[in-house]
């Protein structure tokens, strides 16, 4: 089985992802600021990803504002991608909200579109 880091793993979607992975025998680690992982500062990412083969990013912006959401998603995606490269993560899966018209949706889409160029390079996230 795999060790999977779930970014946003304590939130509504992430907690469900962690649960489903664990019921299927995977070691799923819920990562969030409350567990010591901050995707904006990068704190905790290297330690988290050092033994992870797969990253699932279901994080969400703490702000509803367009500028803040865009900054959150693009900064987090860049920091996660850099930590993935250092750790040799094999796969990256990102929650996609492509096709939504909200400011948060546009921020998530921008982050997902940045994953192939900056991420582990194995899989494309979302549909850009």
**Does residue 18 lie within any of the structural domains?**
no
Range of the domain at 93: 37-118
The model scores a pTM over 0.75: yes
**Does residue 75 lie within any of the structural domains?**
yes
Provide the pLDDT for residue 33: 96
Provide the pLDDT for residue 121: 46
The total number of residues shown for the chain amounts to 128
Provide the pLDDT for residue 7: 97
Cα dihedral 70/75/80/85 (nearest 10): 120
**Does residue 94 lie within any of the structural domains?**
yes
Least confident of 9-13, 47-51, 63-67, 108-112: 108-112
**Does residue 5 lie within any of the structural domains?**
no
Provide the pLDDT for residue 65: 82
Least confident of 27-36, 94-103, 105-114: 105-114
């Amino acid at each position: 089985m795999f060790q999977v880091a779930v970014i946003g793993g304590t939130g509504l979607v992430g907690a469900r992802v962690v649960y489903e992975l664990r019921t299927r025998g995977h070691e799923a680690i819920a990562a969030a600021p409350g567990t010591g992982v901050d995707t904006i500062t990068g704190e905790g990412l290297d330690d988290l990803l050092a033994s992870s083969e797969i990253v699932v990013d279901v994080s969400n912006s703490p702000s509803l504002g367009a500028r803040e959401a865009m900054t959150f998603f693009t900064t987090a995606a860049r920091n996660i991608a850099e930590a993935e490269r250092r750790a040799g993560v094999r796969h990256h899966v990102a929650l996609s909200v492509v096709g939504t018209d909200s400011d948060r949706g546009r921020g998530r889409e921008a982050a997902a579109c940045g994953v192939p160029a900056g991420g582990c390079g194995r899989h494309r996230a979302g549909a850009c």
